[in-house]
């Protein structure tokens, strides 16, 4: 049994030994404390992460399909090689997180902070990117952006060491 604490609510109990390689559908992690947890290689389908705290969490190669990451606090987390298809990333803080090789092309972004994030190799060609903060975010030649989008105008820094 895996117990996840919630802010102002009873804990969420999952009948699993690990959070890695799970397939979860239509669950609510609203106000859950997911700091330092490892959801690597999991399929998170129609999951409500509203107001969740997921600082220093690992989601390496996770699939977020039709999920809601709204008002999420996810500083210094790892989202490398994740897919965010049909997901909402709204009013969230991902400062200091890594999105290397992640695919955000089919999600909707709004007022989301990617300050000091690693965006190398990520597909950032998403709706709403213009409302996001990219100050100090690192990208490279393999990072994909919307046509006519200049990441440096939003504070991103190109890694020219490659």
Q: Name the pTM for this structure.
A: 0.95
pLDDT, position 162: 59
* 51-64 average pLDDT score: 98
| 92-100 mean pLDDT | 98
Are 94 and 75 spatial neighbours (Cβ–Cβ below 8 Å)? yes
pLDDT, tens digit, 9 for 90 and up, residues 122-143: 999 999 999 999 999 999 999 9
Euclidean distance between CA atoms 38 and 84, whole angstroms: 17
| CB-based contact 119:156 (threshold 8 Å) | yes
Fold of 1-162: Pectate Lyase C-like (2.160.20)
Per DSSP, the three-state class of 125 is coil
The model's confidence at residue 8, banded by pLDDT at 50, 70 and 90, is confident
Residue 75 has pLDDT above 70, yes or no: yes
CB contact at 8 A, 35 and 29? no
């Amino acid at each position: 049994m895996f117990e996840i604490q919630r802010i102002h609510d009873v804990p969420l109990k999952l009948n699993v030994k690990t959070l890695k390689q799970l397939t979860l559908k239509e669950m609510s992690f609203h106000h859950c404390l997911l700091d330092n947890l490892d959801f690597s290689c999991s399929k998170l389908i129609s999951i409500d992460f509203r107001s969740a705290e997921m600082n220093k969490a690992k989601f390496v190669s996770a699939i977020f399909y039709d999920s809601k990451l709204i008002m999420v606090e996810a500083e210094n987390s790892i989202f490398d090689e994740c897919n965010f298809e049909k997901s909402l990333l709204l009013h969230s803080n991902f400062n200091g997180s890594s999105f290397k090789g992640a695919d955000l092309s089919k999600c909707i972004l709004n007022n989301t902070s990617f300050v000091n994030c690693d965006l190398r190799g990520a597909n950032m060609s998403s709706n709403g990117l213009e409302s996001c903060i990219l100050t100090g975010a690192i990208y490279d030649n393999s990072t994909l952006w919307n046509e006519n989008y200049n990441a440096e105008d939003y504070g991103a820094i190109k890694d020219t060491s490659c």
